[in-house]
Amino acid sequence: MASAQDALARITADALLAAWPEGESDTDLAQALRSNTEALTRVAESALYQSGAHAVLLRTARSLGEAGQIAEAVAYFERVAEVTGVRSGADHADVIRSFRERLADWRAKARKADRS
């Protein structure tokens, strides 16, 4: 049975995701949302990986890449894929579909940026 703290952490993650605009024209807001997700992860990481990885983790990684922090986005995707794989199994849908495919996309963008 999930604890009240875990439930609150998932509610908070849901709220962060709901507040995140699709386009990140407000860079200060995007940074604040990433920072809040990082803080939530530090205090309640296990709650964000119940039944796979919470979508706010994927959004955070994508936001890093969209902000031009491609190496950080790749590292974030790698970390989330690794933790999801450990907690839910390497064949979990979040690892395969959400993270590995997007991780490959960001790695390709990182290689392209390195060549520029």
Q: How many CB atoms lie within 10 A of CB 61?
A: 29
- CA dist list (Å): 67 to 30, 63, 64: 9, 6, 5
Structure confidence by residue, pLDDT tens digits, 13-51: 999 999 999 888 899 999 999 999 999 999 999 999 987
pLDDT of residue 116: 64
Residues 4-16: tens digit of each pLDDT: 999 999 999 999 9
* Residue 60 burial class via C-beta count within 10 angstroms: exposed 0-12, middle 13-18, buried 19 and up: buried
Domain boundaries, position 44? 4-115
pLDDT at residue 101 tops 70 = no
Q: What is the pLDDT of residues 64-90, one digit of tens each?
A: 988 989 889 889 988 888 888 787 766
DSSP 8-state symbol, 52: S
Q: How many domains in the chain?
A: 1
pTM over 0.85: no
